Amino acid sequence: MSIITLLILLLMFITPIISVMIVMLRFSEIKRAANWPQITGDVTDVRLQQSGSEYQPLLEIAYTVDGQTYSSRQSPVSKIGQTKGSKKWAREFSLQFKPGTAVTLYYDPRRPKRATLHPQQIGVNDTRLQLTSGIMILLSVGIHLLGARGLIANYLNLAGSSVAIAMLISTVVTLLLGAALGLLVQEMRQVRT
């Protein structure tokens, strides 16, 4: 077996495993954020950030955890779930967050410098996260299928539908292995804390 074949074999198995693990770990972080402890912070600065034709208020918030002071930049969400709007809307909405205003923050007990105003919204509705997760898994499965097809056809001397079935089994087993390793890493992280 040549070195190139070994590299393809390694790449075709490692890529989907790592992709599934990364996606699982990211979504477990999002789920864990819903249970972060809350703390009161003080708004130290308010700015408007422009994104295309829309504006959103950005708050600089100082807070203290275990005697250590941290600073976090946050985008508040209105009662109806709006974060961006016209300049007039953003200016009016930001008036309720003048410097010195106390706000409730939720912080990550593992890394207190990470905080948010809305833990239930961390990444769950983030289209970029969902899109990149989907693309990452699809590309890794594509790499796996291409590698599996070549290896199965060349080394197992299978043809026709047997190749397709072997590729499908190989892909499912690889994805399940990635999911199992992702669960194992999650468990190990929970044991440490």
The string of pLDDT tens digits covering residues 77-128 is 877 777 888 999 999 998 999 999 999 999 999 889 989 888 766 555 566 6
Cα distances (angstroms) measured from residue 28 to each of 22, 66, 184, 189: 10, 25, 12, 11
Check if the beta carbon of residue 61 is closer than 8 Å to that of residue 74.
Answer: yes
Give the per-residue pLDDT at 185. 78
pLDDT in tens, 136-173: 888 888 877 877 777 777 777 777 788 788 888 888 88
Band (pLDDT 50/70/90 cuts) for residue 65 is very high
Rounded to 10 degrees, the C-alpha dihedral 6/7/8/10 comes to: 90
User: For residue 59, with 0-12 CB atoms within 10 Å meaning exposed, 13-18 middle and 19 or more buried, which class applies?
Assistant: buried
Band (pLDDT 50/70/90 cuts) for residue 6 is confident
Distance separating the N- and C-terminal Cα atoms of the chain:
45
- What's this model's pTM, rounded to 2 decimal places? 0.59
